[in-house]
Structure 1
Amino acid sequence: MAPQEETKVPGRVDISPEVIQLISGLAATEVEGVAGLKGGVVGDLNQWLGRKNLRQGVKVELGDKIEIDVAIIVHYGEQVVEVGQLVQSQVKERVEEMTGLPIDRIVVRIAGLKFPQTEETQESTPVQRVR
């Protein structure tokens, strides 16, 4: 059996920062203890409405080095440093695995805590009883 010849394809494959943002956001939200991503007023409004935008709270800088900044919200009661470190390793692993690009730096900002809701705060409108 003859060895296969390598075929060279002219051109290159570019990966947009938005793709890296999506991979990073999904990887971060898969970590136990992460309640969501923090993305400013519009992102918070979307999250309140039940819409998920996995790019919110993730910044990607492409250049000589690839740097990713992820802002997360952690569930109250979790070890925030431990959750942050898990997010760093999960994001690095996923992005490198899916893109083949080496990630130089990942900064995780703990941007907030999510507190458990009580029954009072879960009800959006008071219940009226009809007799």
Structure 2
Amino acid sequence: MKMNENHILELDEQKSELGKVEISPEVIEVIAGIAASEVEGVANMRGNFASGVAEKLGRKNHGKGVRVDLNDDGILVDVSVVIMYGVSVPEVAKLIQTNIQQALQTMTAIQLNAINVHVVGIQFETTEAVVEEK
């Protein structure tokens, strides 16, 4: 696995007589974002201002809250999440790391150097009043 000049991963093990396979960092962000949001206890992913505006305009951003850093040392994934109140933060963080690692290994065969989980907020349960129709 190596990076080309456009910061796209080239998978060495995927080269064949038919050509090569390249994976964009945005693909890794989307896979990691979906894998993290699937974990029970994660309320939502925390993105930046631009991703918030895009979502308000109706564009779903599955890579929201995920940053992929490709460098000479390897691949680092940073995930920013808001968790539900009352869950165990270390357990949820470990599940996020495991789910992301398994998803990326299964879908891309990429080995990561680190998956850093940043808990940036807590979501409290909201109570909604139930109105009975008569």
TM-score by structure 1 length? 0.76
1:16 correspondence with 2:24: yes
Structure 1 distance, partners of 2:57, 2:127, is 19
Other-structure match for 1:109? 118
Letter in 2 for 1:21: E
Flag the structure with more relative contact order, 1 or 2, with Cα contacts below 8 A and sequence separation at least 6.
1
Further displaced range: 68-77 or 52-61: 52-61
**Any gaps of 5 or more consecutive residues in structure 1?**
1-7, 121-131
Tell me the SS of whatever aligns to 1:18.
helix
Letter in 2 for 1:16: S
Corresponding residue to 1:97 among 101, 106, 113 = 106
Letter in 1 for 2:35: A
Letter in 2 for 1:106: I
Distance 1:71 1:43, change over 3 A: same
Distance 1:18 1:81, change over 3 A: same
Give the 5 Å matches for 1:42-61: 42-44=50-52, 52-61=60-69
Other-structure match for 2:88? 79
Letter in 2 for 1:19: V
Distance 1:84 1:21, change over 3 A: same
Structure 1 distance, partners of 2:85, 2:55, is 18
| 1:33-79 Cα distance to aligned partner (Å, 9 max, x none) | 01110002344456678864211110011233011100011011111
Distance 1:72 1:48, change over 3 A: farther
Alignment RMSD (CA, Å): 2.6
Distance 1:44 1:112, change over 3 A: farther
**Percent of counterpart pairs with the same letter?**
42
Structure 2 distance, partners of 1:42, 1:51, is 11
**Any gaps of 5 or more consecutive residues in structure 2?**
1-15, 130-134
Letter in 2 for 1:23: I
